[in-house]
Structure 1
Amino acid sequence: MAVIQVQIVTPSGIVYNHRASRVIVKSIDGQVGILPGHTPIIVPLAIDSVRIERVSMDEENVIAVNGGIMEMRDNVCSIIADSAERARDIDVERAFSAKQRAEEILSKEEAVHNSKQQRRAEISLRKAINRISVSKHRKL
């Protein structure tokens, strides 16, 4: 049975390195499903979750990825991300605090007039919402 070796790397180091039967990512153009033998591909990633169906266990791992790129070649799926967190490693309280801060900035009138500040707050909000969403997949 063919498998995919999945590696997720950030500037801080390796976040994930396991074998999988399927990987699902969200590129900036939409969702992409990767199976063993997939044609070589490189895609830019959106702020979203990466879902990985593990081979050795009958489970799915979910990782919050905040942008980056994915390359699939020779049954190796490499994801290089700005930051990434496994569901089990997410500090949910910190994610909710970041979400609240971003919403407060966006609600202020000066953010509407400062497009750079608004853009940063929107990205922070998307990252926080992604982390909160992925945290719901942690095993208890």
Structure 2
Amino acid sequence: MSSFTVDIVTPDGVIYHHQAKFLVASTQAGSLGVLPNHSPLISPLNIDAVRIDLTEEDGGSSDWVAVNGGIIEIRDNVVSVLANSAETEHNIDVSRAEEAKERAEAKIQKAKETKDHDIDLGRAEIALVRAVNRLNVANKRGRN
């Protein structure tokens, strides 16, 4: 079976590097599935989980990474994800993600109730999506 390399990079450096047999990512054009020898492509990513199916030599399980947008590039059997932030399922601090979710929900509720223009509703909604994404990925632990 052939495979490809997956690199997920943030401003802090490489957070994920592995061989894979399949990858699924959510792009702004829709869901993208990647197999070995995929055609070259560059696309913006949504805030969502990236699923990486490992090769049989690596146990054949799936890894999950919470990606907060960015860009995916596919070229020469290398999938590169460049993101402002991303966390593997094992590195997510669940209590911190839950606190972020609660803070975002409270800001959204306050903005809607008081019509407070000082609260940036758009930023609060994005913060909520990011927190929920992180929690969803953290919940994948051990389910491979």
Aligned counterpart, 2:80? 78
Aligned counterpart, 1:8? 8
For residues 47 and 138 of structure 2, the distance between their equivalents in structure 1, rounded to whole angstroms, comes to: 15
Aligned counterpart, 2:54? 54
Aligned counterpart, 2:100? 98
For residues 103 and 68 of structure 2, the distance between their equivalents in structure 1, rounded to whole angstroms, comes to: 18
1:108 to 103, 107, 110: 110
33-42 or 107-116, larger mean C-alpha shift: 107-116
Aligned counterpart, 1:27? 27
The two structures have a TM-score, normalised by structure 1, of: 0.94
For residues 22 and 50 of structure 1, the distance between their equivalents in structure 2, rounded to whole angstroms, comes to: 11
Amino acid at match of 1:102: A
- Flag the 1:54–1:91 CA change in 2: closer, same or farther, 3 A: same
Give runs of ≥4 in structure 1 deviating > 4 Å: 110-113
SS of 1:88 mapped into structure 2: coil
For residues 111 and 132 of structure 2, the distance between their equivalents in structure 1, rounded to whole angstroms, comes to: 22
For residues 112 and 25 of structure 1, the distance between their equivalents in structure 2, rounded to whole angstroms, comes to: 36
For residues 118 and 46 of structure 1, the distance between their equivalents in structure 2, rounded to whole angstroms, comes to: 19
Amino acid at match of 1:97: E
The two structures have a TM-score, normalised by structure 2, of: 0.92
For residues 121 and 54 of structure 1, the distance between their equivalents in structure 2, rounded to whole angstroms, comes to: 35
Percent of aligned positions that are identical: 44
For residues 2 and 129 of structure 1, the distance between their equivalents in structure 2, rounded to whole angstroms, comes to: 34
For residues 109 and 85 of structure 1, the distance between their equivalents in structure 2, rounded to whole angstroms, comes to: 29
The number of residues matched between the two structures is 140
Residues 95-124 of structure 1: CA deviation (Å, up to 9, x unaligned): 010000000000113774538700100010
- Structure 1 residue ranges without an equivalent (≥5): none
Deviation at 1:139, TM superposition (A): 2.5
